[in-house]
Structure 1
Amino acid sequence: MDPGTYTLYHVDGIDSRGALEQYFSGKDEMVFGEDSIIFPTESLIKTFKEGHLKGDILIDLSVGGLVHHLFGACEFFKHIIVLRVRDRCILELKRWVDGRTGAFDWSHVTQLHVDLKGCTDAMQDHEGKVKSALEHVLKCDLHKEDIMDPIVLPLADCMTSALLLDLISRDQEDYMRYLKKFSKLLKPGGHIMLFACLEGTYATIGKEKIYFFNHDEDFVRKALVDAGFVIDNCKVKKRTNVSDLTDYKAIIFVSAHKEK
């Protein structure tokens, strides 16, 4: 598929609220919940329970206003730094963190997280812990070799990235280049956790079709290894929902650590 015929996330931007409503909301008619909400939440809870992922700093480089994949991280990392490509996405996230009127409602994810962990904490207390951990929501520039220049960030113990590489990569070379830039934000031995859509070419948000880089599990594995990572865990969930809003075939979760 020619990326020039579709909207490019990091060039043209997207309707961040529209994306949340269509693919991540708690509405009954939202058919993607099993892939976009339940699978990521279960995967991260299981990974964190293993006990080797913890530290001072976690950096998140994900798409749009996504935050639900960070709900478990606040218990294992002292500081969470969120990096985003678009100003609109930063505003969406800050609206939620600050509890402003009109913020996206993540209560369905909070309830899911509490249920899966068997927590006795009230939902409000748990969501407050997440917001407290998100100390910084900053803009990055993917065109720069150092995507945070001129800001200097401390190297992270862990990084999470949901869907971003799918949307900013036009081809395999792009994917590798961005992955290596992401790796520079990690300490030697640091961990990365990726969520991605496999074998997809587009996602519809409103009237726009957003370009997706078409790749499979083998490519993700090879890309991580070539970028200097050792894969610790990889799980693929085949798509079961029916919708023409997007054409991905499966969701992948990969946990890997950076070679020292």
Structure 2
Amino acid sequence: MDPCTHKLYHDEGFDVRQWLEQYFSDKSALVFGEDFMLFPIECFAKTFSEGHIKGDVLIDLSFGPMVHHLFAACEYFMHIIMMKISDQSIMELKRWVDERTGAFDWGRAAKLHVAIEGESHLLEKKEQNVRSALYHVVKCDVEKENMMDPIVLPPANCVISFWLLDAISKDQDDYMRYLRKFSKLLKPRGHIILVGDLDGTYYTVGKHKYHIFTYDENFVRKTLTEEGFIIDSYKTKKRIIRDDQCDYSALFYIVAHKGK
């Protein structure tokens, strides 16, 4: 499929609040709740509870203004730095961090996390723990060699990228080029966690269709290996719900670490 058939997230942007309401809001039927909320929350909770991935700095390079995937990580890192390519995403995140009126409600995600962790009595503290760990929410340019130029970030113990590579990559070369940049943010033997769609072609925000780079499991495994990563774990969640809001066959979650 021609990557120009649909709009590109980082070139044309979209209404990020509309996207949140469409895919994550308590007010909606939450058609993809099991895939986009429950599956990643379970995966992240298990990964971080094992205690192998922790340290001073976690860098998050994810799509849109999501925070639900960080609820487990906040207990294991001193600082979380969120890098965003969209000004709208930054504004939306800061509204939530500062607990301003009208901020998006991530209460459903918090409830899922504490239920999975068996700590429902800590519900009131869960969102505040994430807010406290968010050290910076900053603008980046994925086309620059140093995405934070002229700022140089401290090397991270872990980098998380949830859907961003899918949304900004037009082809295999793009995916590998961006992954290489993300890898440079890591310390030696640092970990990377990727969440993405297999066989995806598009997602919608309102009436508009946006591009997703189409690839399979073999491609993401091969790409990580060629970039010097050793894969620690890999999980998939096959799509069951049929709905024309977005197109993909499965969601994947992969954890890998840098080799020597």
TM-score category, normalised to shorter length: over 0.9
Structure 2: runs of 5 or more not aligned: none
Aligned counterparts of 1:251 and 1:24: Cα–Cα separation in 2: 16
1:108 aligns with 2:108: yes
| Equivalent-residue separation in structure 1 for 2:13 and 2:36 (angstroms) | 20
Amino acid in structure 1 at the alignment position of 2:38? I
Kindly report which structure 2 residues correspond to 1:2-151, keeping only aligned pairs within 5 A, or say none.
Answer: 2-27=2-27, 29-151=29-151
Provide the aligned length of Structure 1 versus Structure 2. Answer: 260
| Alignment correspondent of 1:203 | 203
2:232/2:255 contact within 8 Å kept: yes
For normalisation by structure 2, the TM-score amounts to 0.98
1:80-133 per-residue CA deviation (whole Å, 9 max, x = no partner) reads 000000101110111100101111110000001011101154322111111010
1:170 aligned onto 2:183: no
Alpha-carbon distance in 2 for matches of 1:225, 1:16: 33
1:226 matched to 2:226? The reply is yes
Shift of 1:259: 1.4
1:152 aligns with 2:125: no
- Report if the CA contact (8 A) 2:162-2:196 is conserved: yes
**Residues 152-174 of structure 1: per-residue CA shift (max 9 Å, x gap):** 11000001110000000000000
Specify the alignment match of 2:243 in structure 1. Answer: 243
Secondary structure at 2:4's aligned position in 1? helix
Q: Is the 8 A contact 2:237 2:250 kept in 1?
A: yes
Residues 196, 252 of structure 1: 8 Å contact kept: yes
Structure 2 residue identity aligned to 1:194: L
Q: Cα deviations across residues 194-216 of structure 1 (Å, max 9, x unaligned)?
A: 10011010001011101000011
Structure 1 stretches of 4+ with a deviation exceeding 6 A read none
- What SS does the corresponding residue of 1:195 show, helix, strand or coil? strand
* Separation in 2, partners of 1:84, 1:160: 12
Shift of 1:25: 2.1
> Residues 31 and 242 of structure 1 are in contact (CA less than 8 Å); yes or no, is this contact kept in structure 2?
no
SS of aligned partner of 2:147: coil
Cα deviations across residues 53-101 of structure 1 (Å, max 9, x unaligned)?
1111000000111110000111111100000001011101111001011
% identity of equivalent residues: 58
Secondary structure of the 2:63 match is: coil
* Shift in CA distance, 257/104, structure 1 to aligned 2, threshold 3 Å: same
2:69 counterpart letter in structure 1: H
Distance in 2 between residues matched to 1:70 and 1:201, nearest whole Å: 26
Q: 1:5 offset after TM fit, Å?
A: 2.3
1:215 counterpart residue number: 215
- Distance in 1, Cα, partners of 2:226 & 2:148: 23
Please give the root-mean-square deviation of Cα atoms over the aligned residues, in Å: 1.0
Aligned residue identity for 2:60? D
Structure 1 runs not aligned, ≥5 long: none
Amino acid at match of 1:108: R
- 1:203 is paired with a residue whose SS is strand
Amino acid at match of 2:101: T
Q: Which one-letter code corresponds to 1:15 in the other structure? A: D
Shift of 1:28: 5.1
TM-score (norm 1): 0.98
